[in-house]
Structure 1
């Protein structure tokens, strides 16, 4: 279960460093998988259980999450290597997130931005993080999706994340200029191009099964397919007048964890998984989050949600004594609208995977390849009636905005 190098001695030294206690002694270590098959394509997650005694004699039983790269023979291994997702996340936990947390603490914001990192081992490309489950953090239901209360907590968290990164970039501009330029739609990279084109083909295949959709949209969608990654890349580009910051990059229901009060109301939210953190416009996070994670009635209030995030971001930057250009709300809404094409992709090809409850084999390769198993899985994604309703709703809107025409 555990890698050969992950011995009791390795964990003991790590815990001694973390707790600043050279007398700490590990007594027992065991493990089990932390995620089910299909829940995490990017890495291998293992829950490690450790019994140890501190120098003062206190006996503790704790669990931790070991994050490793997927095996080198996994079909997606080359894609993630091309986008350098593992080294990026290691640096996020080791350097960037602690600096962002410190900036927020200086202004009296003491909410956590991340789980504590017990070990960041760049040589082995692994991390050992505190386990959030015993702290009563849990994911909301990815299939039911988020109501307004859950949504606004995430927007408040993103405002602090974005604001701290804006200030960090002012203080240390070299830090975020190194590893944070690549994203799903990066020009010059191929891996995710193959994935998104395959997913989009499956979406067109579904549209062609519905005569009312086929007649109006099939030809336009076929044209988009030939320009898909270029249109998407333009949506992540930032101009001189655009607000720029480090974004989470993969902010959806499963990558945020909530703390609830005794009545079941969410009180706190914590982001996880920073492999795709990128320097771009903060509204990229908003499009991704809105298109993957919100209930229909909440997503219908998108305009108000952008406004909510805008004022939360502005208020946080003021508390951080930010000195720099900040857009008007009107300009910010325009920056959001100019990236509307992201919802063409994310809402129509990503969300069906994210709310999938079918029984077909959800191996990574089946998401996008036109093998018999792949086509079977892809077609089954669009059997979801909720997804069908959303497509019926969103395609006329995207068409009316001109996003299905050549541009």
Structure 2
């Protein structure tokens, strides 16, 4: 596993701070926080855009009669301003956007799914507190209900994939209907995904990783001869092609897309036989008003078994599409619903999203080496940063996958000039 960075605890994350928030959440001014435990919630390499902390609280109330009550919550905070990653991310509005999602949007989406789609299963973690002064969010710890994150290394089989697509269709349908009923609710700050027309803060990340991919191809003569020149040309065009792939066109079905949908951002609940019975979505920093196709490309390219990714995309889109149409009908959506044929075309028009997701982000997501995994390392030109980037593409699993991914993308025409 990657070496762990020391977990930095924010100075404001104190007993007094948590006690104040819990008194509001539980609507009980008698609540007294007796003990606060603080631990990292995720490992190195599993999140590149924030700090996740699990807090264990012991508290009493007047009704508990001095009996200590215990529970856990998760606290999500931004990187410190001195971290180079913060300067990349802050201009995308990711921190304020996620706070807005948990404070205003997610409760409304959850209510639509529960009452109108009539799916009682949890779709998101409940919001405990959003604090804009500290740029922090406190929400339910879903592990208490036996939810768990799937392995980013093993990825998802068909059973898990179908469940994600079913719930994703509900999420997308609810997002489209919410905006139809409340025009302007996502007007501010929901137009800046990884690719957009406003900022190119991710450009050094994209280009540095593509250059590392190009260097890795020198270690494989077959791949070098066939693909190195194409990858080298892509370095200078990755942002243009990416922006083109996320440009909304007249007639497109648009909704609130998750924007960063991969294994670490979904949590599964299982029955006694080990079958997944529900999935919830987490991490809403890159939610964006766009085509649902970007979520599908990103998810397929990073999170499902190779045979599903390479052989079953059309039928997975069909599965998702019928779930989406059914959810939109239950919500009485009055906008234009594309035919399956038109939706497949919309998916095809966003296909470059699969290039950056599979060649740039997926190898990073699969990283399991010894180097420190961080955005700072990707941006850095120091020796440690170069080692990390080269190590990403020299992993055996990544080198094997390139023999599948590169021909697949090339057959779609996605590595040629566009």
Instruction: Please state which band the TM-score falls in when normalised by the shorter chain.
Output: over 0.9
Deviation string for 1:342-397 (max 9, x for gaps)?
11111111111111111123232223444322222222222333322321122223
**Cα separation, partners in 2 of 1:4 and 1:338, compared to 1, 3 Å:** closer
Q: Is the 8 A contact 2:113 2:174 kept in 1?
A: yes
1:118: Cα distance to partner? 1.1
TM-score, with structure 2 as normaliser: 0.93
Q: Is the 8 A contact 1:198 1:369 kept in 2?
A: no
Report whether the alignment pairs 1:226 with 2:226: no
**Cα separation, partners in 2 of 1:97 and 1:260, compared to 1, 3 Å:** same
Secondary structure (helix, strand or coil) at the match of 1:231 reads: helix
Q: Is the 8 A contact 1:198 1:370 kept in 2?
A: no
1:68: Cα distance to partner? 1.0
Q: Which residue of 1 aligns with 2:342?
A: 331
Report whether the alignment pairs 1:5 with 2:8: no
Q: Which residue of 2 aligns with 1:174?
A: 184
Secondary structure (helix, strand or coil) at the match of 1:360 reads: coil
Task: Name the count of aligned residue pairs.
Answer: 407
Q: Is the 8 A contact 1:155 1:309 kept in 2?
A: yes
Q: Which residue of 2 aligns with 1:392?
A: 403
Deviation string for 1:220-256 (max 9, x for gaps)?
2222221110101111111111110011111100110
Q: d(CA) in 2 for partners of 1:7 and 1:363?
A: 27
**Cα separation, partners in 2 of 1:4 and 1:74, compared to 1, 3 Å:** closer
Q: Is the 8 A contact 1:199 1:368 kept in 2?
A: no
Deviates more, 1:319-328 or 1:33-42: 33-42
Secondary structure (helix, strand or coil) at the match of 1:279 reads: strand
Deviation string for 1:297-321 (max 9, x for gaps)?
2212111111111111111111111
1:11: Cα distance to partner? 2.2
Decide which of 42, 50, 56 is 2:57's aligned counterpart.
50
Decide which of 173, 176, 187 is 1:163's aligned counterpart.
173
Decide which of 184, 196, 205 is 1:195's aligned counterpart.
205
Q: d(CA) in 1 for partners of 2:144 and 2:205?
A: 36
Q: Is the 8 A contact 2:200 2:239 kept in 1?
A: no
Q: Is the 8 A contact 2:44 2:372 kept in 1?
A: no
Q: Is the 8 A contact 1:97 1:113 kept in 2?
A: no
Report whether the alignment pairs 1:80 with 2:59: no
Q: d(CA) in 2 for partners of 1:140 and 1:4?
A: 32
TM-score, with structure 1 as normaliser: 0.96
Which 5+ residue runs of structure 1 have no aligned equivalent?
none
Secondary structure (helix, strand or coil) at the match of 1:251 reads: coil
Decide which of 365, 389, 403 is 1:354's aligned counterpart.
365
Q: Which residue of 2 aligns with 1:112?
A: 122
Q: d(CA) in 2 for partners of 1:361 and 1:97?
A: 33
1:6: Cα distance to partner? 3.5
Structure 1: 4+ residue segments shifted above 4 A:
none
1:201: Cα distance to partner? 1.0
Q: d(CA) in 2 for partners of 1:80 and 1:39?
A: 17
Decide which of 16, 27, 32 is 1:25's aligned counterpart.
32
Q: Is the 8 A contact 2:297 2:353 kept in 1?
A: yes
Decide which of 293, 301, 312 is 2:303's aligned counterpart.
293
Q: Which residue of 2 aligns with 1:277?
A: 287
Q: Is the 8 A contact 1:120 1:126 kept in 2?
A: yes
Decide which of 251, 254, 258 is 2:264's aligned counterpart.
254
Deviation string for 1:253-299 (max 9, x for gaps)?
01101111111111111111000001100010000001111111221
Q: d(CA) in 2 for partners of 1:222 and 1:385?
A: 22
1:9: Cα distance to partner? 3.4
Q: Which structure would you say has the larger RCO, counting Cα contacts within 8 Å and 6 or more residues apart? A: 2
Q: Is the 8 A contact 1:197 1:368 kept in 2?
A: no
Q: d(CA) in 2 for partners of 1:16 and 1:112?
A: 24
Q: d(CA) in 2 for partners of 1:164 and 1:117?
A: 18
Q: Which residue of 2 aligns with 1:140?
A: 150
1:39: Cα distance to partner? 2.7
Report whether the alignment pairs 1:37 with 2:31: no
Report whether the alignment pairs 1:210 with 2:217: no
Q: Which residue of 2 aligns with 1:14?
A: 21
Decide which of 66, 79, 92 is 1:70's aligned counterpart.
79
Deviation string for 1:186-245 (max 9, x for gaps)?
233132011111111111222233222222222222222211101011111111111100
Which 5+ residue runs of structure 2 have no aligned equivalent?
1-7
